[in-house]
A = this chain, B = another copy of it.
Amino acid sequence: MKMGILGGGQLGRMLLQAAANYTVTTYVLENDPQCPAAHLCHYFVQGDIQDFDTVYRFGKQVDVLTIEIEAVNVAALEKLEQEGVRVIPSASAIRTIKNKIHQKTLYQAHAIPSAPFVVTQQQTELTEHLHFLPAVHKLGEGGYDGKGVQILRIEADLPQGFNAPAVLEKMVPIAKEIAIIVAVGQDGSTALYPPVEMLFDPILNLLDYQLAPASLPEQTLWRAEAIALKVVKALQSAGLFAVEMFVDTHGEVLVNETAPRVHNSGHHTIEAHECSQYDMLLRILLNYPLGNTNARSTSALVNLIGAPNYVGSAYYEGLQDTLRMENVYVHLYGKQQTKPGRKMGHVTIMGKDVTDVMHKANLVKHTLKVISKNTIHE
């Protein structure tokens, strides 16, 4: 079986680590030959995942094709599907998800709870929707890792809105941010991972701390699971999906957004769950039975992001001390250059309870830092 991955970042890297448990032949398409996944595949192809011809030619070589980022040429995937290449997630699921307007419209069409929204085509329209403030303005296409998202609190913020098709979404009073990873097999079978609970860095807007399983009242858990399943049913595609949700202050569960791929919120599954999200996606791609999503223990996830003010060759300060800690698992993505906010690695902490893993997660956050010893100050 020949498996292709569009994109060669850390998600591809970890997928390929897991792929070496099977007999699959692996292909990666990515512009950067120094990317985290480049050296772990059988065949690395340098090229642009957004270019029709490049993606089409790459896809023709393989039996099954997946993505590790949504910003790919979907038209090429559609043609490949028509010609018999298995594309997981499907081209149409990617097309829906990569555009936030389509994504919100899908939720609306399937009565999946999400924050109230309007679609705006240009910045000047925003003044018509003052009653939506405070709101989040999300670019239809092109947003990633916190880019393409603007908080518009008051009328004076409106000039910062996007002058392009976008979603203006009412801010909801968030009690908790959670995510559920859902696996959908080629035969339509599904498996849900327990929800995780997230904390965001308010400045860089990148996930930097996570707890699993989320601490939720049973009713909320059931609601979140039902909603996550509803999302993947609406998408009508095999694959692995991360459904990010808000629990608001009234206990309502609202979908924030969905990623049609292995996800940052599932890194902890490598050690802390019976079947990792990477192994699970491989099982889906290779048409094997879905794995077991049970947690082995409570876990926390700390993202290692490039420290502020450091640009240059990456140095992992505190690595030795971190590696000395028990039940602490370090993953470095092998990126040579660090810059503020860049995802450079993650650390999973397993433990007997929430107190235990949170204590250790804080210790890791204060111990391990990605800096540079030859920083070029910007």
A residues in contact (CB < 8 Å) with B: 13-14, 16-17, 20-23, 26, 39-42, 274, 283, 288-289, 291-292, 294, 296, 314, 316, 319-320, 323-324, 326-327, 329-332, 334
Contact = CB atoms under 8 A, between A and B. Distances in A.
A20 B294 CA distance: 25
Contacts of A13: 20
Contact of A23 (B292, B320, B334): B334
Nearest to A350: B274
Contact of A20 (B40, B320, B324): B40
Name which of A20, A274, A323, A331 has the most chain B CB atoms within 10 A of its CB: A20
A21 B283 contact: no
B326 A21 contact: no
Contacts of A332: 21-23
A42 B40 CA distance: 8
27 contacts: A13-B20, A16-B40, A17-B20, A17-B21, A20-B40, A20-B334, A21-B329, A21-B330, A21-B331, A21-B332, A22-B330, A23-B316, A23-B332, A23-B334, A26-B39, A39-B40, A39-B41, A39-B42, A40-B40, A274-B326, A274-B327, A288-B320, A289-B320, A289-B323, A291-B323, A292-B326, A294-B326
A274 B324 CA distance: 12
Contacts of A21: 17, 329-332
A283 B20 contact: no
A294 B328 CA distance: 13
Nearest first, the 10 closest Cβ-Cβ pairs linking A and B are A39-B42, A289-B324, A288-B323, A21-B331, A17-B17, A17-B20, A23-B332, A292-B326, A23-B334, A289-B323
Contacts of A39: 26, 40-42
Contacts of A289: 320, 323-324
Nearest to A316: B23
Contacts of A292: 326-327
Contacts of A17: 17, 20-21
A39 B16 CA distance: 10
A274 B329 CA distance: 9
A25 to B, nearest CB: 8
